[in-house]
Structure 1
Amino acid sequence: MIDAIYPDIENLHQNDFRWLCCRAIVSPRNETVKEINNLIMQKVPGEVKCYKSIDTVTNIEDAVHYPQEFLNSLNTAGLPPHELSLKVGTPIMLLRNLRPPNMCNGTRLLIKELKDNLIVAKIITGPAAGELAHIPRIPMIPTDLPIPFKRLQFPVKISFALTINKSQGQTFKLVGIDLRKECFTHGQLYVALSRVGAPDHQYILLPENNITSNVVYREALQ
């Protein structure tokens, strides 16, 4: 599937940004998306630059209960990882609103330069497509974890592959749908299958039994 959606990935730097913004791989699960992104980035030429976050508890009295190593290990779909590995030329997605309407949560960009405390990238989706943007590290407090802590990191993730939820509202010319792990909520499969207008522009990867489930709330059918 990777070769079908991103052919000749070794020559990624030679492609126009419009080539990248019109294709993606989607999957229901965040762990699958992470696995695919890591596999593709290994094929992209260039040096990896790793940025480590600074993680702190919001209440200083909790510091003794949650050591640094534990905070570093925490991950959630809406939060960048503690160790963020990036390469020039790879696509990324914003995880926070920085400068609406041009730089919002879900905006995709193409990395042009990786500095110690700044990412220079070209916006490839939305009304400002083609413009250069500067992304700083910002403090982020996750709302879907029971532990109150703050992560200082660049608010981005690699976006060769996206979760189906993150792809909602976007339209592509070519999409790979990884369904090795089933959809787990109402409407996910429909969202994945409706990212492109033509069925022959979709590639679907199924588990070995070639069967996947479509989750639908019974109330929606009544």
Structure 2
Amino acid sequence: MRVQMLQDPSTETFSKQLLGIGDGKVAIDETGCVKLPISAQSLIHKILSLYINHEWLAERAILVAKNIDVDNLNLKIQQLLPGNLVSYKSIDTVCDASEAVNFPTEFFNSMDFPGMPPHNSQLKVGSPITLLRNLNPPRLCTGTRLVIQKLMKNVIEASI
């Protein structure tokens, strides 16, 4: 794993922490996990204080072991951002009406696949998002990071 050294002292600290983990010099708790010195609350505070700076945000990512942890952290951050939450729900049905008994809507809504949005996406203007489908090949591609500009009933307007 490589950490790019920028003019930011936190990257040097992070690099040293990674080396310590790799060398086995960092203590492991009773569950066998490495406990990093930053808490979720301090991470959220750091993100909220700098989320308007899109250049800073575009150079960072939060790495966690489980998708459920990502979802929980995203929801906490989303709730603390200014503005109203707008909910977008998926529409999940079967094509063959006779199969509706075997696959109820609640079953589809409970499924959570990596790379797919959740059944109930809650968003705010100014939030960063990632494009999941290539809509405009010369300009946009899968994985492009965007910032929400406007939330409408069936459309999300965002800028690169």
Q: Is residue 93 of structure 2 the alignment partner of residue 56 of structure 1? A: yes
1:21-50 CA-to-partner distances (Å, cap 9, x unmatched) read: 122211232111111111211221110000
Map 1:151-170; keep pairs closer than 5 Å. none
Give the percent of matched residue pairs that are identical in Structure 1 and Structure 2.
Answer: 45
- How far residue 101 of structure 1 moved from its aligned partner, in angstroms, is 4.6
Q: Is residue 117 of structure 2 the alignment partner of residue 83 of structure 1? A: no
Which of the two has greater strand per residue?
1
Map 1:26-175; keep pairs closer than 5 Å. 26-123=63-160
**How high is the TM-score relative to the length of structure 2?**
0.66
Inter-partner Cα distance in structure 1 for 2:93 and 2:80: 34
Does the residue aligned with 2:88 lie in a helix, a strand or coil? strand
Q: Is residue 46 of structure 2 the alignment partner of residue 7 of structure 1? A: yes
Does the residue aligned with 2:62 lie in a helix, a strand or coil? strand
Structure 2 residue runs of 5 or longer lacking an equivalent are 1-37
Alignment length (residue pairs): 121
Does the residue aligned with 1:38 lie in a helix, a strand or coil? helix
Give yes or no for contact 2:86–2:123 (8 Å, CA) kept in 1.
yes
Aligned partner letter, 1:9: L
Structure 1 residue runs of 5 or longer lacking an equivalent are 124-222
Give yes or no for contact 1:89–1:112 (8 Å, CA) kept in 2.
yes
1:86-139 CA-to-partner distances (Å, cap 9, x unmatched) read: 01111111222222253222111111110111111111xxxxxxxxxxxxxxxx
2:55 aligns with: 18
Q: Is the deviation greater in 56-65 or in 46-55?
A: 56-65
Cα RMSD after superposing both structures: 2.2
Does the residue aligned with 2:63 lie in a helix, a strand or coil? strand
